[in-house]
Amino acid sequence: MIDGAMQDFPLTLDKFLTHAAKWHPQAEVVTAHDGGLARIGYAALHDRARAVSGVLADLGVTTGSRVATLAWNSQAHVEAWYAIMGMGAVCHTLNPRLTAAQLAAMAVQSQAKLLVASADLLPLARRVAERATGIARILVIDGMAEQDATATALEPLLSAAPRDIAWGDFPETAPSGLCFTSGTTGAPKGVTYTHRSSFLHTLRTLQADVMAISARDAVLTVVPMFHANAWGLPFAVPAAGGRLVLPGRHTDGASLARLIRAAEVTVGVGVPTVWLGLLEHLDATGETLPTLRRLIVGGAPMPPALMARLEARLGVAVQTSWGMTELSPSGTVAPPADPARRADVSGKPAIGVDLLLTDADGIALAEQRDVEGHLRVRGAAVVERYFGQDAPATDGNGWFATGDLARIDRAGNLIITGRAKDLIKSGGEWINPAEIEGIVGALPAVAQAAVIGRSDVKWGERPILLVELREPALTDADLLAPLHGRVAPWWVPDAVVRLPAMPLAPTGKIDKIRLRAEYGDA
Amino acid sequence: MIDGAMQDFPLTLDKFLTHAAKWHPQAEVVTAHDGGLARIGYAALHDRARAVSGVLADLGVTTGSRVATLAWNSQAHVEAWYAIMGMGAVCHTLNPRLTAAQLAAMAVQSQAKLLVASADLLPLARRVAERATGIARILVIDGMAEQDATATALEPLLSAAPRDIAWGDFPETAPSGLCFTSGTTGAPKGVTYTHRSSFLHTLRTLQADVMAISARDAVLTVVPMFHANAWGLPFAVPAAGGRLVLPGRHTDGASLARLIRAAEVTVGVGVPTVWLGLLEHLDATGETLPTLRRLIVGGAPMPPALMARLEARLGVAVQTSWGMTELSPSGTVAPPADPARRADVSGKPAIGVDLLLTDADGIALAEQRDVEGHLRVRGAAVVERYFGQDAPATDGNGWFATGDLARIDRAGNLIITGRAKDLIKSGGEWINPAEIEGIVGALPAVAQAAVIGRSDVKWGERPILLVELREPALTDADLLAPLHGRVAPWWVPDAVVRLPAMPLAPTGKIDKIRLRAEYGDA
């Protein structure tokens, strides 16, 4: 053993805000609010978050307590995050687009006693608390609300709150957050983030070839804080000293355009449908967004036509990405302004993430490049075990099976080709709906396309196509024509269903569970 | 306690090369060699480094062993680093510009039994081994050499070496490297790097606002691997999948220009004097270096005139920085292409580094901005305790005293103003030689300027100016004229000494110990 070495520096998440408060005190968190903007510097936000920790401590929150939040992307939600995590409690984010029954089941699992809720979500919060009787109190942020024995406004408590609650006084492997997957298939499972895992995730995303966030950036975080940590941006943006721009509740095109202009946003981060809404608003009004330079997209396949329209109309470079709740959530991100960028290519893993293609049984494919396989992942911010489960979520070699189908090209770039659970079995052979969706979705007249299996007496399942159209005049033959010669003839859907609006899951992805429930029976 | 969390991922340095070998197998390490280039991809280099571990294991190296290296920046040195550190041994880098007696004293301290040496350094290596009798064997890289009982060429041993020596099979807090400060003042002290500290240092430097290294970069690493880890670039460049370009022994302007063109270098990293040599070569030949986009400089003050010339002549953006061996070594780096960049401003700390200004007794200054103080630093890659010492190198609050004097401007940027130990005490008052050097050194006719104290019967010490001139016609009055009105009259040096060449310490900095020995007595 060698005597003498380097300083101890536990990787705890409070350090991001403390660093921002000291080194970027005037850099701002900007929240869209009542048609205007609420602005605060990191130094002042840090003081407020310290006071929120004091309020929480007064209410009995301590290291290891779970505190639930039911809130939009807002300054007060960021304050609550740092207050909860800084003192060593665990922030359990709830998705307001789920039902009270679903949310209550999660809150019962996490044993949260306190629920922090946006004022306009108080009715839902009350219904959750009625069902999850462990929740003794609702702390209301983002506006005043009617108070009673259960619901208390946070703001009036701040001035008298103690500001000396210790932050970071726990091991770096302590849990910091809890997020239940609200996947499009299967039952929700809880993913427990730790300080260390989210700290290392943050350092990964800050790299020049990943999200490359700079102190000169203003980052519009449309991806919700209630879903997979808003892709870690409430950590990464203060860590870099950038401006964190939060949309609050409203993420329609007009609201986002107004916010991008007012907050001089340089980087936007969100799912593809969000940017489609922005694009359609801009096309309707003729507005421009001169400060915007990059869009980072993920969470759903990026239609090539949409990517091309966004780049042409906004003058931005789009960065595609792939991730999931179990990955904290970033897996791969295409580098900024890559001349070779393509809508279907999600970048390569940065240091800290490793990928493996296997067969359906989890055996590694002998050839890992230019073949399709089942995608497994390993790394510093990848789930090892779901909340409350005894069995690991990983295989014997430490790999987590994502459920995605993928190729990795010769250059090492990831191309997601589908979801294993979405595959359609027709006559004993597999059909990959994602391939069909990609081809039909590339038609400029198609807003969204989904392919599901419909039960079939003869074949077991047969594919059908569901579309939301931008040009209603399109015929079935027009829609199916591009498939001929590009997929096997028996992959061509048996039927086309036109929907006025594609149903979306709470994460913004197409809700295939609902589509299968409504259209899956012959 | 919450059941279920994230995967284990020990922060060990072998992961950088393993990641590069898998995800950037064709990205190259390029070494200037015999007037040509030696090129190898990371996948092949990884295989060779695994074999070097096998050779080392055969020679008795095991976890915790110290292995010394005495070598230039070369592919074989990189292979040796990863071979040593990967298997959990400690890489003790020796500086070939020191004397055999100095190096032997260090090797005795570290108890290295094996010395890896470049072939052209074998005579020095033999003299070191004669004095440090613990060194049982010299393993020769970078060319064949005369062999005997002590010296063995590494290359012929590779093909038969076992390739199954475990890498990364130790705690992340295990020591990885050992570097003795060869400071310009005081006796050398050993700094022990750990896998964790250098891993976190690497993630810090990869950020978009720090060194911002991308897979599309080719990084010319002039800063030596024998000094403070070559600023961590042999870790950071493979981690990002970039091309690592190594100059070997020759770092004169002509050699660097040839290498930059041949290896299509985009980023150069080195001390200011290296770039001065490059500039003078280019001015003499009229050559251009079209691929070069950035220079990262540090290790000594950057003369403003040199920075302006470099930017104008090379079409690059210069990034200034500050660091030291005890910081692994990066402290602060100015962001890439910062429109507000200035030669005297070294950037602000990225997450993982914190700065504090104190008085001479180590008491924090009440005001931390726009005042000069003694600089202390804290962070994940900062020394806690020197090698073999019982006492910590930090104060009671965990701060390490750098010995530098500094200001921090309103925006949080660090401005190094001098070395506390270089201060001159004249008539009971302090004179800061760095201020005088900065003003005189800004004259285009001055290549290098140094101010030291000369003993004085009346005043204790008086400043004298030593200069290396580009235009010999300059008079003493010409040299001192710019000081009038910018420093106190009694700060103006009493004498001017012209030197044909400024003596440099082994790190490339001006050797003030030697200047004081030769010119410090009245």
Q: In what order do the strands lie in the sheet with B353-358?
A: B353-358, B372-379, B400-408, B414-419
Task: Count CA atoms closer than 13 A to B341's CA, side-chain side.
Answer: 24
* CA A199/CA B485 separation, integer angstroms: 50
Question: Which of B1, B7, B189, B199 best tests the A interface by mutation, with the highest count of A CBs <10 A?
Answer: B7
Both tokens assigned to A386: 């779901």
Q: Of B156 and A98, which is predicted with more confidence?
A: B156
C-alpha B519/C-alpha B424 separation (Å) is 14
Tell if the CB–CB gap between A354 and B19 is shorter than 8 Å.
yes
Q: What is the mean pLDDT of residues B102-121?
A: 95
> B164 versus A181: which is more confidently predicted?
B164
List beta partners, residue A190: A180
Chain B's closest residue to A10, CA to CA, is B380
Using CA atoms, how far residue B277 sits from B125, B292, B299, B441, in Å, is 28, 16, 16, 16
Query: Can you give the pLDDT at residue B1?
Result: 45
Q: Round to whole Å and give the CA distance between A293 and A299.
A: 20
Beta-carbon separation of B197 and A382 below 8 A? no
pLDDT tens per residue across span A327-379: 999 999 999 999 999 999 999 999 999 999 999 999 999 999 999 999 999 99
Q: Residues A494, A483: contact at Cβ < 8 Å?
A: no
Look at residue B139 and tell me whether its pLDDT is greater than 80. yes
* Residues of chain B above pLDDT 90, percent: 81
Q: What is the pLDDT of residues A299-322, one digit of tens each?
A: 888 988 899 999 999 999 999 999
Q: Which of A5, A197, A209 sits opposite B385 (nearest CB)?
A: A5
Q: Higher model confidence: residue B108 or residue B188? A: B108
How many angstroms separate the CA atoms of A231 and A274, rounded? 15
pLDDT in tens, B338-397: 999 999 999 999 999 999 999 999 999 999 999 999 999 999 999 999 998 989 999 999
Confidence (pLDDT) at A421:
83
SS (HEC) of B378-410:
EECCCECCCCCCCCCCECCCCCEEEEEEEEECC
A522 confidence band (pLDDT: 50, 70, 90) = confident
**pLDDT mean over B423-438:** 87
Residue B4 confidence (pLDDT) above 80: no
State the ipTM, two decimals. Answer: 0.91
Q: A432 pLDDT exceeds 80?
A: yes
pLDDT of residue A55: 98
Question: For residue A471, what pLDDT band results from cuts at 50, 70 and 90?
Answer: confident
**pLDDT tier at A425, thresholds 50, 70, 90:** confident
- Per the annotation, the verdict on B251 as an active-site residue is no
pLDDT of A149 = 87
pTM of the model: 0.91
Identity of the residue numbered B236: A
CB contact under 8 A, B208 and A206: yes
Q: Taken in order A213, A215, A216, A220, is the CA torsion positive or negative?
A: positive
pLDDT for res A182: 61
Q: Which residue of B207, B379, B387 is in closest CB contact with A9? A: B379
| Mean of pLDDT over chain B | 94
Pairing of strands A137-141, A114-118: parallel
Instruction: Render pLDDT for A272-289 as a digit per residue (tens, 0 to 9).
Output: 989 999 999 999 999 999
Band of pLDDT at residue B502, cut at 50, 70 and 90: very high
> Is the pLDDT at A39 greater than 90, yes or no?
yes
Length of chain A: 522
In the prediction, which pLDDT does A1 show? 46
Q: What is the mean pLDDT of residues A201-217?
A: 98
Taking one residue from A and the other from B, the number of pairs with CB-CB distance under 8 angstroms is: 186
To the query of whether residue A322 is one of the catalytic residues in this protein, the response is no
Confidence at residue B507, expressed as pLDDT on a 0 to 100 scale: 65
CB atoms within 10 A of CB B484: 9
Rounded to a whole number of angstroms, the distance from the CA of A126 to the nearest CA of chain B is: 26
- Asked whether the beta carbons of residue B208 and residue A212 sit closer than 8 angstroms, the reply is yes
Q: How confident is the model over A235-277, as pLDDT tens digits?
A: 999 999 999 999 999 999 999 999 999 999 999 999 998 999 9
Q: Higher-confidence residue: A184 or B143?
A: B143
pLDDT recorded at residue B125: 97
Q: Is the pLDDT of residue A74 over 80?
A: yes
| pLDDT tens profile A118-168 | 999 999 999 999 999 999 999 999 988 778 889 999 999 999 999 999 999
| A4: confidence class by pLDDT, cuts 50, 70, 90 | low
CB environment A289-326: b (16+ within 10 A), e (fewer): beebbbbbbbbbbbbeebbebbeeebebbbbbbbbbbb
Whether the pLDDT of residue B213 is over 80: the answer is: yes
At which residue do the structure tokens 């300083």 appear? A7
β-bridge mates for residue A332, sequence order = A322
Marked catalytic residue, from A69, A81, A167, A326: A326
